[in-house]
Every structure is written in C-alpha cells, then in structure tokens.
A and B are shown apart, each in its own frame.
Chain A
C-alpha cells in the first residue's frame, strides 16, 4: 500500500480597491500568460477549498507539493466521481474510509480538518459502485457531501442544506479572459448560483459580485460562444475573494441562453433545436451586408432563395420547407420583443407602383423587388439572432408564427467606460464567369435578302453561316461592369451598474454591376444633346443608413427597463437596364458591318429578327424604393423575488415607403410617365408575461409562465400614375393624364394568452403549454383553435448508469410537440363585386363585376409538429453534435387555387382548404475543434439538413392542379413539384441529321420531375486561427441538392440555342427544344450545387500593437463571397430563382449573384 500524506496549501493574497464603475484589482502583477491560467485556476480552486474545508488533501502519492497534487487530480479526470470501486467497511473511521476510497479509485480527495477530526465510524458495503455513491454512503448523516472541482479533484464540503447558516456577506471579483487569445472578455455574465446576483464583465473583462452571502458559493460564468465555467468559492464576511476564469471557445451549445416566448431559458431546458447566431463572431469571419447574409447557410433547415443579385434585392426564407401553402410562408421577426413587419414575399415585397420589371421580356419576374424589411435591420447593431424553426418551438408566439420565428436581440451596453468600436469596409463586385453562347443560322432568299432560320424552318436558297455570339461576354457591348460597396459603422457601449447603453450607427452605400455601354452612352448624347444622367449610366444602387440605440436602466435591485430604438433609411434604385440582360442575350452584332440583329420570340418555336442601330433598347425607366423603418420598443423586467419575475414589452414598428417608377419626358418618344406609390405598415406589439419558480420535493423545480400578447398590423398603400409629364419635371404636378389611383388597405390584429408550466430536475426538463388566440380582420372576430405544446429533454449522460461517459461529456435527448394555425382572411370567404364605370347602352354607367368568387367553407389551417433529437458534447468538449428530426403536418392547408377560365375567365383564384401537407426532415450540426494549440486552432462547423415535402392528400373534390405552367399540387408528391409531359423517345426517322417535332414522342400525361426546393442542404464553415488568433482564415462552402427548376432563359431563347441551329447538337438536346411548345421536359433540371460562398483572411493585431495606435483592438480582413460555383446546371446561376412574391421558382435570367471582395478594418477603443 502506498503511503498517504496530507498537505496544506497556502493561498495567494489579493487586494482590491475600487473606483466608481470601475474595478481595478491590485494584483494584476500576478496575471499569468497563457498556459499558466489553468494551473493558477486549479491552485486557486484548491485555495478556496482549503479556506472552506481546512485544506487537507488526501493523495495516493508521497509528493506533497501543491503542483503535484493538482497534476494528480488532473490525471484523475473529470469523471472521478463516476469511477467504480467496491468497498467493504465495517466500523471504519471516516477519515480512514476516505483514504481507502482514494486509494482504490486512484484519485485525490480534499477535505477539511473537521472531517479529519470526525471520529465517527461507518459501515458500508458496496460492489462496483461509483465513487460518488460510495462517498455519499460513507458521508451519509455527516453533514458533508462530495463535489468535483474543475481541477478534477473530489472535495468533501459541508452539505449546504444542512450547513449552519453563515453570517455576513463578502465580494467576489475576477477577470474573464479568452483562454486562447488571453484577450479580456467583455459582456460575460457572472452569476452566483442560487442568488439573484448577476453582473457582466466590463471592457477589461473584470467583474465584481457584491453582497455574496458568506459561505460556499458557486460562481458561474457564461458567454455566448464559450463553454461555461463554474467554480466554488468560499466567501468570508466582509472579505474579498478573487476568482479568475479563462473561457474556452465552446463547441457545446447547450449552456447558451435562448430567448423564448416566456423569457430567457437555458437551451438545456428547451426541448427544441434553436439556432443561435452570435453576430459579432460572424461579422469577423464573413462578408455580411444584410441579415439574410447572416442567416444563409448558418441555420440548418433554412432555405434562402434569391430574387436577384442586384444590391438590396430580397431573398425568400423558408424554414423546414414550405410549411404553409398559404401565400405568406415567411417567418415572423421579433426585435427585442417587438414584432416588426415581416411579410417578405407577399405582393407588397415588390415595388408598390407595381412597376413591371419588363412586361414583354422573357426575363420577366413581375414587379421589381424591393428590399425586405428584415434586411433593413443593421447587422452591426445585432448581438444575437435566434431562429425557431417550426410550430413546436413557436406555439406560444401565436398563430402568425407557424412559419417560424426569427428573434433578434440588439447589442446591449455593459457597465464600464465608453467602449467605442468602428469599422469601415470597401469592396467591389463583378459577375464571375461567362454566359453561354447563343447561335444564329443565317441564309438568304432568292432575292438575296438575309434570312434567319432554325434547323426546323426553311432557310431560303441555302444556309450561309452559323454564328456563335454572346453580347454579355463582349466588353464593349455588355452591360455588366464592376460594382462597389462602402460601409462605415461606429458604435459605443458603456454605462454604469445602474444605466448602460449601446449605440450603433451604420452607413452603407452600394452600386450594382450594371452600366450603360459606351455605345448607348454616345447614342444618347447624339439623341438628346446631353450626357445620360448618372442613374442611367449606373442604375443599380442601394443607400442605407441606420441607427440603433439601446439603454438599460436598473430600477433598484428588482427591476430594470430597456429601451430599443432603431431607425433605418434606405433607398434602392434600379432601371429598365435590368431587363436588357435578356435583350443582350439575343442580340447578335455583325462586327464586319456593325449591324445589330435583335432576335425576338414570342414563346413559340419561331422568331424574328430586327435590324437596328440600337444595342440596348430600354434603359430609360428608373424604379426606386425608399423606405424608412422605425422600431421603438421598451421592456420592463421586474424581479420581485427569486421565484417570481414579470415583464412587459411594448413596441411599434413603422415602415414608410415611397416608391416610384419614372420614364422621363422625351424618352422612348413619349411625354413621360410616372407611377408613384406611398405605403406604410404599422405593427403594434404588447407582450405581458410572468414567470414563477418554486422548488418541489425530490429535487424538482416548477416554473409556471403565463402571458398574453397583442399584435396589430395595419397596411395602407396608395399608388397612382400619370402620363405626360410637364416639361422639366419628374413629378406629378402638371401631368397630362392622371390614372385611377389604386389602394391597398388592411388591418388585422391578433391577441392571445398562454400558460406554460415547466418541471425541471437535474437531468429532466419537461414543459407543456397552451395558447388561445383570437383574431380580427377589420373587427370581424374569429376564434382560433387552442394550440397546445409539449416538450421534454433528458440529460441522459448524467445518469449514473450511462455507459459511455468516457465518450460523452453531455448527451441530451429531447422531444417536442406543438400546434400552430393560420386563419384565412375574412374577405377570402366573401363573394365580392368591384365597382367601375363602363360605357353601356350608349352612356357611362356604374357597373359591378365579380372581383372575387369567395369560399364560405374555408376553415383555418392547422399545423402540428413533432420534433425530436439529441445534443451531444464529446471528446472533452472538442466535438459538439446537434441532431433533430421533425415531422410537420399541415391539415386543411390553405391555398389560393387558380380557377379554370371556363368559370369566369383568366386570373381567377379561390381560397381552398386543399388538403394535408407534410414536411419531414432531419437537421444536424457538427462542430469540432480538431486542433487546439497556441500556434494553431482549427475548427469547423458542418450543418446538414434534408427536407421531404409531400402533399399527403387533397380534400374531397379537389383535383390535382397546376400553380404554374410546370408546378403542380398533386397528392403523393411535393408541394409545387415540377411536372411535365415526358419525352419518351426520339429518333431521326428520316435520317436528315436533325430531329424534327414529329420525330419526338411526347407522353400524354404529366410526369413528376422533382421538388422546387432543395431536398438536401449542407454548409461547412471552417476556421484556422494562427498564433493565438493573430491571423484567422475562415471559409464557407454551401451545398444544395435536389432543387428542380425550369431553365426559363433557355426556353425563351430556344431559337438561339445550339440545339435549334447546329446540326451537330446532340439529338437529345434537339428533341428537347423542338417540342418545347408541347412540354418543357427537356429544360427542367434537377440541380446539384456546391458554392464556395465565403472566404475571410483576417489579421488581428496584438493588444500591444493595437495600443500603439491608441486602440484596444484592431483587425484587418479581406473577405470574399461567391467565389466559386460547381454545378451541373446548364444555366448561369441556379440559386437566383425566386420571384419577388409567391412561392414559385424559375431561373428567369435576372441578374445572378455577383462575386465580391471587400477589405474591412475594425477597431475598438
């Protein structure tokens, strides 16, 4: 048997002195470089234990040095309490029993003199029991219990439940640093467990917790993105104890705090997978220009569909598939508790003037898009974004939340001196790669006149030439150029313990990549005697400035109030030059003669050409969208006791828009026209909630939350147009013909209340919820169904019997179930007649014509979701895995169904409860830190998701139907799936070397071709950090598989395709083209895409270097986006495929995503 010794440890002594709002420890000279921190912490831990217990260390070694003891304890590992031993004690003295346990387990045990002096004898017989169970059995009735220190030692402490009440209070202070970079961490939350005492670290990373009850206290430090740390410290009355922490970048997400409808919760207690994005860390590692950029590829289950690559153009967001087939599938947005307008894909998302991007262009996407409200939120002003993906997580947010919730928390101030941050970036963008060639086949007739002919059309006397061209690739013809972007941001955080603040101001200015070709510039000069205005030369621009302020005031010890205010002003400008992408795709320039051939088609298999001196026919229309977005919210939190909290949110979001579409006078031989629209959306929010917590027997805790909320959304848009502008004006005054105004007004409110009881045990967390909603659309009240929810999670790795403790640090299983619903608009049930004037029987009279069929049988749609999964931290927190599987079922799904024209002509729709739609899928996130050394850390996060969308059944009487030419709703297939009559065969029967329409066999019935949304998505973000973060390289890759869409560009330019003109084109391609008037089959493609989406190389100056410039931090980063695209898609960019509104997808040939690079300089003061 080895000799066992006891050693006494001496503790370092620190002093503290304070100045107002600033805590400056006097023992900074003892700060240690990296590598000593953990040792220091371990020593400190033993130090405080020694203070607590009298500092007896029991080890199985003869080495009496403190260092040796710590090393030994480290070797013992963190699971020392769970080692298994057998004992057979009969009337053994307590201290001897502890010695024997330490020996058998090969661990160190620290206890105090009082334990050593305890003369009691114990009798315990256990076989293959954990050390924890053995110690508890041995210590039973002694008033002591075993605990595990962070240093890995077992410490016998007094059982606080039985301990005598300590008297007095003391202080705990310390400094929190990043374990890798040694940089102080500002904003870390430090709490004394079991108390309401909570502080955050200041800009130097220091904290002070005052009024800590004397005795053993557990200090817990949390910071988003870092693994939490906790430590027991002994507080002595009127004394100060130091406890420093070095936080490691955490792979684990479980300790994070998430925002739920009922308040903040530890993620561990929430049964859903909620994605949290810590914006600061993303801004440093990727080119971010909008909130959509922040979300894209960082939220498994979120599909982002782009409308175009123009500056400010919006994207469509879909969480876990098209969860609703209702027109609005957009998740709702909440900023600091305040709902903001979030309908990103309804008709209002386009320019309010309804300015058509080009009524006749094959690239038509309806109206010009306008920036989304989500992207009007300044990324620099955001602290975190949390994404709740489905009804099971969003039940308590109410009926509107059925499509998910995006919860945005703006920056918060920290106590301390003003901490300034500034950043500036300058970037450029351009279109990568080449556009596919077009083909033209020329012949001539017997008179010698030129003919244009395809393989299937007569070419006069004979074929003269086959030319390949692409004006978009020709530098002197193209409208593609370089764009640029400039952004500057300035912010300040600070405050005192009573009042903290954070302000951020950002200015963003961006110019798109379109330019007017020199040829047209000159032609304009000749025609108009002046140079074209700037907006004609560089029509795409986005200008935005925003201001965000947040102030938090503590109203005594038990209440605080925070006020958030954001103001954004944004102007987006486009012009009809946008539409000339498609025009140029079909423009052939005969360099020899300088002749332009503009080939036009009307969607049929034939086309025509126009000899012209016009390269770009239309760049004269300017379309602008100006939005002012104002959000003001206040939150009052009240913590009257440790068991009860209450809070109130109230807020208002107002978006005022002024849109215009201008054709100046004398352009295109007209007197000019102007469409002008003013619109506003006002969203009012009031939330009330109260949470009570009570400890129950057997270690359970009951938390009961209840609350109510009220949201009202009012829309008021008015547009008009005039023709014949007064000379010298671009406004409405003096216009010749004033068109009829158009008005869009709506007013809808929702109110609901909920209850949510939750039970928590150390390892078990269970919550239920019930929400009742009422809805009102212009006062016509409807009662919505009751929405229940249920969820639970189980920290299975904490079970004593869990067999894989050496592998898993944490393993949590979870499951959640919830309901949500969508109520049809009240007017959807009504048959409505519109009033207008018409010429009837020789005079003008008021007439009523049917404007809406209505459907009185509409029911609310109801959605249920079951989500289950697990979260695991493995291999000493080097690997973190989150996995979720979900099944989301939408019953009585509402859809605006097109009505065949035999009922009441074209463009008639009716709302129907069309049936049952199901989304099932899995999402997984794997985060690892493969290397963690001083020289290099390498980590990566892989997100993977798969969604299987299915129309389970259609309601009685509802037959399968199309919602677009090739998109169809049919049971057994995905929503909006792509369908076409198949090409079942083709052969060159007459052996003329070309495929003609009658040589292609087209099936009679539609065949399913694929989903209109990606089935699989994956994203990989990897980070290399060199020299403690001095140089950091981040890269992001996105992968999509299973998106099926029509290449509308190829369809509309079919007569310019190789297949239509070149006999050498493969027969399969010829067959696809020659039957396009019967089926789009040959141009519908299922796409796989791998995109090298982002790269950032950043240099982070050391604190010493930064201080030389008067800064506390300095970084310079070169960031690029859309750096590579690897795809089987035959078009230009498969991921720019969404219309400004609605749910349909197609590659319509609008501007693809450009490639961009930017240089970013960020500083802190």
Chain B
C-alpha cells in the first residue's frame, strides 16, 4: 500500500497577512504611482503667473494680432482679394496646374458658404481671445507694467473688431473668453454693434494710454475708423483732430516662414497660387497699376499662357518682412477730408491735396535688403513727384469717387478697401454692382457673384448654439 505523503503545513496566517498588507498598501496609490510633475511637453501653467509671463502673453497678443491683420491668412489678403486690390492668380490661367485656391471664389464674390476667409475669421477671433488673456495676465501678474500696454491691447482689439465688421457679414458673434475662466458664446452682433463696441475699446485705450502718444494716436485713428463705419463723420473728424501728420503705427514682420512674416510671403514668395495686382478689376476697380500711381507700385511678373501680363504689387517685399501700416496721420487726414466732404465743406479737397503735395515717399533703401524700397508716404517734406493736385469734379458723386479713390491709393493693401466699399453702399447708397468688381469672371467660366462680404464659417454655426447664421449678407 502506498502512503500519501503529507505536504508541509502552510502558513496561512502569513499569507493572509501579506494579502491584507497588499490591500491596505494599495489603498494609498500615491505610494506606488510616481512623483509629482507635469509631462515635459506640457508648459507649466505657473510660469505665466509672473510679470515676465504676463508680458510674454502680451507679446503673444501682439504677434497674433499682426498675423490676423497682415499675416498669411489675414484681413489684408482676404479683403484685398474680395475687393479690387488683388485678384486671384488663376484668372485667365486655366490649365496651368495652379488650381486649388479658395481665393478664386472670394475673388469672384461667389462664395456662399465657408471658404478661405474662414482662416481670416479664425485668426481675428483668436487674436481677440489672446488679447483678453493678455489683459487679464497684465492686470493679475504685472501690475507694475506700464498701463499703456493695456491701452494698446484695447486699441488692437478695437481694430480687430473693425476688421471683423468690415470683412464679414452682419452677425459676427463676439464670444468672450475670460482670463483663466470660462468662455461664453454670444449670438451674432449686427455690424453697427461691432463698430460701437470697437469704439468703446478705443475709448478704453484712450483712458489707459495717456502716457503714450503712440497708443493715443493709434486709438484716435481707430476710433475714427469705427465711427466712420457708423456714419458718424463729425465724431470721426473730432477723434483724429489731434493726430499729427507724421504719425505712423506699423506692424512689423520678419522675413521667412519661420517667424511672423506678413501675407506677402505666401502671396508672392511661393511658386504657386500667386494673387496678382488687380487693375480695374471687374470694371469698377481702380487702375492701381495702369494709373502709374507711385502709391501703388507694381512689377511685371510675366505673362500667362494666353499672353496676358501678370503684375505683383511691390509695396511689400516678397520675403514678408515689410511692416504694414495699421494707422497713420494720412488716414487721419483722409478721415477729416471725408467728414468735410460729408458736411459740404470745401476744405475736403485742400485736405486731400495737402497729402499729395506736402508729403513725400520714402525712397530709401532698406538697410538690410538693398532690393527693397519703402514707398510709404511721409508728411511735410514738400511734394510728391507724379502726384498732381486734384481738381474738384464738381458733382457730389464724383467728389465721393475722388475721395474714395484717394483712400484707395493711399491705403492700398492696408485693410481699408473692403470697409470703404461697404461704406459706399451702406452710407452713400451706392449700388454694390457699381462698387465691387462685376461682370464676367474668367477664372470660373462665369460671372462675378453678388456677395460684398464673407460668410461666417460653418463651424461657428455647428458649435455655437447662439449663432444662427448671418443676419444680413448685404453691406
């Protein structure tokens, strides 16, 4: 018979004790779950809670505004293509393989839904959000920083809102993003409301920036621009009264793609999709090139396959580094001239002629790049070659044409033209078909469309429960 061997006695108590210790130990996962640290690719939020951090956020706001204004997808490019300043490079170039640009549909005023202006919308709204973060950060973490910094931010937000009102349909939602707080969706605001809101921003800037003449002037010109948008000409004239002729606020850009270059880099520095300088676009456009006006210089690029010459504006260097004027004494004078014309004062023409004859263009070479020439006007140096004094056309309509023509040339590719054309419709009762490019549009084998502004991106309607589309696609 076999004997069944007995197994060693098991220390059950020890085993259960071990299990219990294990269980209790696991009750405190902190003992086994590692140390306190954020992932290395996540920026530590506390780093922004310092004066330096607040200033970095401020610089971020300046940078983002610059991109929204004159960057690759900025207001100047979109507005320029929609109006008569630029035209899509595909015009007349069917079959060259450069298709794929959404600009064609903007150019033809045929966009009814989301389009390339989505990027401009995004950039402008992003800049608004960043400006509010910067305002909050300066107040919270950099109380000793100059208050004028906050004033500048308010001014830039005002401009940002003007761009939104100028370019997009009535009904742009201005949702809010609190500093370190939540965001609140807002319904679409009528265009007038946005201009009013922008004016309030400029007022805030004027209150905060009393020790900075530059910011004060920036805010004054901006406020006047907002007031012009509201049709309040006297107030606009009053706002810019103190702005000197030689005031100039320009946004600076870097050369090349790595940093914040302006739209000229993508527009003309690339081998594809070059929007070209328009000339009498759609019949109503100004003859920016053919007039030979020194304020709108251009260069011959070449001919397309049908032999049509293509030009590019040379106002901005193709490496994207040229500063772009945001506000200036010239604009202040133009505002005054418009107010005077609107009021029936004969001074409007001398005001305009003073700009043409009492200033000069800076023809100095760029100190860094000898191929670049700054063609910006400077006040008070005694006359501009090639610009004869204007004559009074005698009729109200023609006077208005002259005024807006002057604005068109002086403010070429600075983001003003789109607002001006809409104002011609809204405030001066011009017909959109007499203001915007119209007629046959070669690039689409069709006609120019009917739109005078850009739609709000579809994503806004998808995600913002308070937004239900444009309030009005008219001017």
- Find residues 953-983 in chain A having any chain B CB closer than 8 Å to their own CB: 959-962, 965
Do B26 and A903 touch across chains, with their CB atoms under 8 A apart?
no
Does A844 reach chain B (CB closer than 8 Å)?
yes
B94 at interface by CB-CB < 8 Å: yes
Say if the beta carbon of B29 comes within 8 Å of chain A.
yes
**Shortest CB–CB separation between residue A407 and chain B, in angstroms?**
22
B33 touches A753 (CB 8 A): no
B42 touches A775 (CB 8 A): no
- Asked if A20 CB lies within 8 Å of chain B CBs, one says no
How far apart are A834's CB and chain B's nearest CB, in angstroms? Answer: 6
CB neighbours (8 Å) of B119 from chain A are 906
Return chain B residues, CB-CB under 8 Å to A168: 1-2
Q: Determine if B62 is an interface residue (Cβ-Cβ < 8 Å).
A: yes
Q: Does B370 contact A (CB under 8 A)?
A: no
Partner of A833, one of B57, B129, B173: B57
Binds B, one of A255-263, A638-646, A803-811, A1026-1034: A638-646
Tell me which residues from 806 to 850 in chain A have a Cβ below 8 Å from any Cβ of chain B: 827, 830-835, 837-842, 844-850
The docked-state distance in angstroms from the alpha carbon of A726 to that of B78 is 38
Indicate if the CB atoms of B32 and A706 lie closer than 8 Å: no
Query: Does B33 contact A237, Cβ atoms closer than 8 Å?
Result: no
Determine whether the beta carbon of A557 is less than 8 Å from that of B2: no
| Interface residue stretch chosen among A563-571, A695-703, A743-751, A1123-1131 | A743-751
Interface size, A (range)? 35 or more
Query: Which of the candidate stretches B175-183, B280-288, B379-387, B402-410 sits at the interface with the other chain?
Result: B175-183
B56 contact from A211, A847, A960, Cβ within 8 A: A847
Q: Mark A845-871, 1 if CB is under 8 A from B, else 0.
A: 111111101000000000000000000
In angstroms, Cα B177 to Cα A776, docked, is 30
The chain A residue sitting closest to B36, CB to CB, is A779
Partner of A901, one of B23, B47, B125, B446: B125
Is B22 touching A905 in the complex (CB atoms < 8 A)? Answer: no
B29 and A751 contacting across the interface, CB-CB below 8 Å: yes
- Cα(A451)–Cα(B119), bound, Å: 32
Given A608-B94, A841-B62, A900-B185, is A905 in contact with B100 using a C-beta cutoff of 8 Å? no
Report whether A901 and B1 are in contact in the complex, using a CB–CB cutoff of 8 Å.
Answer: no
- Judge whether A902 and B125 touch: CB under 8 Å: yes
Say whether B19 faces chain A, with CB atoms less than 8 Å apart.
yes
Among A753, A783, A901, the most chain B Cβ lie within 10 Å of the Cβ of: A901
Inside 8 A of A779's CB, which chain B residues have their CB?
A: 33-37
Q: List chain A residues, Cβ under 8 A from B111.
A: 604
B462 within 8 A of A: yes
Which of A558, A847, A906 is in CB contact (< 8 Å) with B60? Answer: A847
B27 within 8 A of A: yes
Contact of A600 with B48 in the complex, beta carbons under 8 Å: no
Please measure, in the bound complex, the distance between the C-alpha atom of A963 and the C-alpha atom of B269, giving whole angstroms: 36
Question: Which of A708, A749, A773, A833 neighbours the largest number of chain B CB atoms within 10 Å of its CB?
Answer: A833
| Residues on the B chain within 8 Å of A690, using CB | 15, 19
**Could you tell me the distance between the alpha carbons of A838 and B30 in the complex, rounded to whole angstroms?**
41
In the bound complex, what is the Cα–Cα distance between A837 and B60 (angstroms)?
9
Q: Evaluate contact between A610 and B97: CB separation under 8 angstroms.
A: yes
CB pair B175–A840 under 8 Å, yes or no, is no
* Binary contact track A917-960/B, C-beta < 8 Å → 1, others 0: 00000000000000000000000000000000000000000011
Q: What residues of chain B lie closer than 8 Å to A606, measured between beta carbons?
A: 105, 444-446
Contact check: which of A458, A772, A851 meets B43 at CB < 8 Å? A851
B13: interface (CB < 8 Å): no
B133 & A850 in contact (Cβ 8 Å cutoff): yes
Given A743-B40, A846-B56, A902-B99 contact (CB < 8 Å): no
Q: Chain B: interface residue count, which band?
A: 35 or more
> Which B residues touch A832, using CB under 8 A?
42-43, 45
Q: How far is the CA of A213 from the CA of B173 in the complex (A)?
A: 85
Among A451, A641, A847, max chain B CB count under 10 A is at A847
Minimum CB–CB distance from A449 to chain B (whole Å) comes to 9
Q: B residues 214-250 with Cβ under 8 Å of A? A: none
Bound CA span A213–B1, Å: 11
Chain A residues positioned under 8 Å from B176 (CB to CB):
903
Assess whether B274 is interfacial by the CB under 8 Å rule.
no
Contacts A902-B185, A906-B459; is A604 near B105 (CB within 8 Å)? yes
Known interface pairs A458-B445, A710-B32, A901-B125; A835-B43 also in contact (CB < 8 Å) = yes
Instruction: Tell whether, in the assembled complex, residue A902 and residue B173 are in contact, meaning their CB atoms are under 8 Å apart.
Output: yes
**Interchain nearest-CB distance for A663 vs B (Å):** 16
* Chain A 485-520 near chain B by CB (<8 Å), digits 1 or 0: 000000000000000000000000000000000000
- Given A778-B37, A961-B462, A753:B22 Cβ within 8 A: yes
Looking at A237, A451, A839, the one whose CB has the most chain B CB atoms below 10 A away is A839
Which of B4, B47, B62, B462 is the one whose CB lies under 8 Å from A962?
A: B462
The distance from the CB of A247 to the nearest CB of chain B, in whole angstroms, is 30
Q: Which of B39, B45, B185 contacts A831 (CB 8 A)?
A: B45
Q: Which residues of A contact B90 (CB under 8 A)?
A: 608
* A901 x B122 contact (CB < 8 A): yes
Closest to A740 in B: B258
Q: State in angstroms the CA–CA spacing of A1142 and B317 once bound together.
A: 42
In the docked arrangement, what's the CA distance between A612 and B12, Å? 83
Q: How far is the CA of A604 from the CA of B108 in the complex (A)?
A: 13
**CB pair A844 B457 closer than 8 Å:** no
Q: Which residues of B contact A465 (CB under 8 A)?
A: none
- Chain A nearest Cβ from B346, distance in angstroms: 41
B174 cross-chain contacts in A, Cβ below 8 A: 902
Query: Which residues of chain B come closer than 8 Å to A840, judged between CB atoms?
Result: 59, 62-63, 66, 252, 260
In the bound assembly, the distance between CA atoms of A965 and B119 in angstroms comes to 17
Taking the complex as formed, is A898 at the interface, i.e. its CB lies under 8 A from any CB of chain B? Answer: yes
* Residue numbers in B under 8 Å from A849 (CB-CB): 57, 60, 63-64, 130
Contacts of A903 in B (CB 8 A): 125, 129, 175-177, 183, 185
From A752, A833, A904, B26 is in contact (CB under 8 Å) with A752
B111-139 vs A, Cβ < 8 Å mask (1 yes, 0 no): 11100001101110110011001000000
Select B100's contact among A457, A600, A847, beta carbons within 8 Å. A600
Residue among A238, A646, A778, A780 with the highest chain B CB neighbour number at 10 A? A778
Cα A1147 to Cα B451 in complex, Å, equals 33
B60 and A838 contact, CB distance less than 8 A? yes
* CB atoms of A608 and B462 under 8 A apart: no
Q: How far is the CA of A846 from the CA of B122 in the complex (A)?
A: 22
* Measured CA separation A1078–B96 after assembly (Å): 29
Question: Which residues of B are found within 8 Å of A458, using beta-carbon distances?
Answer: 445-446
- B24: nearest residue on chain A (CB-CB)? A753
What residues on B are CB-neighbors of A776 within 8 Å? 29-30, 33-34
By a CB distance below 8 angstroms, the chain B residues around A590 are none
- Whether A644 pairs with B57 at a CB distance below 8 angstroms is no
> What chain A residues lie within 8 Å of B38 (beta carbons)?
778, 827
The smallest beta-carbon distance between B337 and chain A, in angstroms, is 31
Q: Do residues A457 and B34 form an inter-chain contact, with CB atoms below 8 A?
A: no
Closest to A774 in B: B29
B10 contacts chain A at the CB level, 8 A cutoff: yes
Given contacts A238-B2, A458-B446, A751-B26, contact A837 B259 (CB under 8 A): yes
Q: Is the CB of A841 within 8 A of B7?
A: no
A901 in contact with B260 given A776-B34, A827-B39, A833-B45 (CB within 8 Å): no
Which positions in A face B, CB cutoff 8 Å? Answer: 167-169, 211, 213, 237-238, 360, 451, 453, 457-458, 460, 557-558, 600, 602, 604, 606, 608-612, 640-641, 644, 646, 688, 690, 706, 708, 710, 712, 743-747, 749-753, 755, 772-776, 778-781, 783, 827, 830-835, 837-842, 844-851, 853, 897-907, 959-962, 965, 1077-1078
* 12 further contact pairs, Cβ within 8 A, besides A608-B99, A746-B39, A839-B259: A457-B445, A610-B99, A749-B32, A827-B39, A839-B253, A845-B56, A847-B62, A849-B57, A849-B64, A902-B172, A902-B460, A965-B462
List 23 interface pairs A-B (beta carbons < 8 Å), by A numbering.
A169-B2, A457-B446, A610-B95, A644-B12, A644-B15, A706-B23, A708-B26, A750-B33, A751-B26, A753-B22, A830-B45, A832-B43, A835-B43, A837-B259, A839-B252, A847-B62, A901-B118, A901-B457, A904-B130, A907-B122, A962-B462, A965-B458, A965-B462
